[in-house]
A = this chain, B = another copy of it.
Amino acid sequence: MKRRLKGVFVALTTPFAAEDVSVSRFQDNIRDYNTLGLGGYVVLGSTGECLSLTDAESEALVKASVQARGEGKLIIGGTGRESTRLTVDFTNRMADAGADAALIRPPSYFRTRMTPEALKMHYWTVADRVRVPVIIYNIPRNTGIAMDSGLVAGLAGHPNIIGLKDSSGDVSFIGETARRVPGDFCCLVGSGSVFLFGLELGAAGAILAVANAAPEICLRIFQAFQERRLEDARKLQSELIPLNKAVTETYGIAGLKYAQQRRGYHGGEARSPLLPLDDKARADIDSLLLKLNLREKP
């Protein structure tokens, strides 16, 4: 498994039709992405609006992704919940639905109580009790919890904890962590704006929201890095930043889905309480796609 946690993974959006999950559009997207050389998919990630889905919808999406994925593509389920027990149960349910691994964010509602000790207990217990390998998810912007590399290094000692996704934006966290974990523990970059630098500091790959809209560029960065064409990699990384900021920070998931739609994938609206895009935002994203020469998917 650890050997396969490498390359570019798309943190898939969840397409809706008339407010219901559209499994067929979701599978269409995956089939389109299958042709591109990606490592696999994250289903039920933050980008997938996992917190807006029912358990039944979640299960249907995991099953659909397993069915639609190309050969050799990993399916990683975002299965973190607010308690240890709920996380274990939901992770095992998604494992039964076919997920190959689980990406688990820390419980965060009681964030002031999520000491390193509490987080260690949580992840260790989860890893003991779930039937798929666990990837730790550091995403302070949404959880209010900034993990420490010492905590991750300690958790890396558990045989069922195989990796880290870091979306902090401070890429040195990956560098610091990569130096403290065993060689086969996989660090994955969670921000498209610093993907290349994570690779330079030892990351095995990335799980990226922007890859829904611009998978080719993400893949080209990875390939250029692999082939040590670092000038090419730098140029691509630099060019990707404005679009990545727009579809993650400035306009969020609604912006990402719009960009995805413009590329010829199924995007559509996000579920409420996320608001629809206004015209200025659309024009802004159109212009960013144009600058990157990203038109309809080939």
Taking the closest CB of chain B, its distance from the CB of A146, in whole angstroms, is: 11
A275 and B113 in contact (CB under 8 A), knowing A170-B169, A175-B238? yes
Q: Are A273 and B86 in contact (CB under 8 A)?
A: no
Q: Are B193 and A273 in contact (CB under 8 A)?
A: no
Q: Are B109 and A51 in contact (CB under 8 A)?
A: yes
Q: How far is B198's CA from A193's CA once the two chains are assembled, in angstroms? A: 12
Please tell me if A293 contacts chain B, counting CB pairs below 8 Å: no
Q: Are B274 and A117 in contact (CB under 8 A)?
A: no
The tally of residues in A whose CB lies under 8 Å from a CB in B reads 66
Q: Across the two chains, which residue of chain B brings its CB closest to A139?
A: B109
Of the candidates B53, B107, B170, B228, which one forms a contact with A170 in the assembled complex, judged by CB atoms under 8 Å apart?
A: B170
Q: Are B111 and A252 in contact (CB under 8 A)?
A: no
A238 and B109 in contact (CB under 8 A), knowing A273-B84, A273-B121? no
Taking the closest CB of chain B, its distance from the CB of A66, in whole angstroms, is: 24
Q: Are B194 and A142 in contact (CB under 8 A)?
A: no
Q: Are A197 and B176 in contact (CB under 8 A)?
A: no
Q: How far is B201's CA from A230's CA once the two chains are assembled, in angstroms? A: 12
B-chain residues with CB within 8 Å of residue A273 when the two chains form the complex? 83-84, 106-107, 110, 113-114, 118-119, 121-122
A171 and B144 in contact (CB under 8 A), knowing A109-B51, A121-B272? no
Q: Are A172 and B85 in contact (CB under 8 A)?
A: no
Q: Are A200 and B196 in contact (CB under 8 A)?
A: yes
Q: Are B201 and A238 in contact (CB under 8 A)?
A: yes
Of the candidates B82, B228, B241, B274, which one forms a contact with A51 in the assembled complex, judged by CB atoms under 8 Å apart?
A: B82
Q: Across the two chains, which residue of chain B brings its CB closest to A172?
A: B193
Of the candidates B112, B230, B242, B272, which one forms a contact with A84 in the assembled complex, judged by CB atoms under 8 Å apart?
A: B272
Please tell me if A25 contacts chain B, counting CB pairs below 8 Å: no
Please tell me if A46 contacts chain B, counting CB pairs below 8 Å: yes
B-chain residues with CB within 8 Å of residue A179 when the two chains form the complex? 238, 241-242
B-chain residues with CB within 8 Å of residue A191 when the two chains form the complex? 172
Q: Across the two chains, which residue of chain B brings its CB closest to A198?
A: B197
Please tell me if A141 contacts chain B, counting CB pairs below 8 Å: yes
Q: Across the two chains, which residue of chain B brings its CB closest to A245?
A: B176
Q: How far is B51's CA from A51's CA once the two chains are assembled, in angstroms? A: 12
Q: Across the two chains, which residue of chain B brings its CB closest to A169?
A: B170
Q: How far is B171's CA from A171's CA once the two chains are assembled, in angstroms? A: 8
Please tell me if A49 contacts chain B, counting CB pairs below 8 Å: yes
6 CB-based A-B contacts, threshold 8 Å: A51-B83, A52-B83, A110-B274, A115-B275, A172-B241, A178-B238
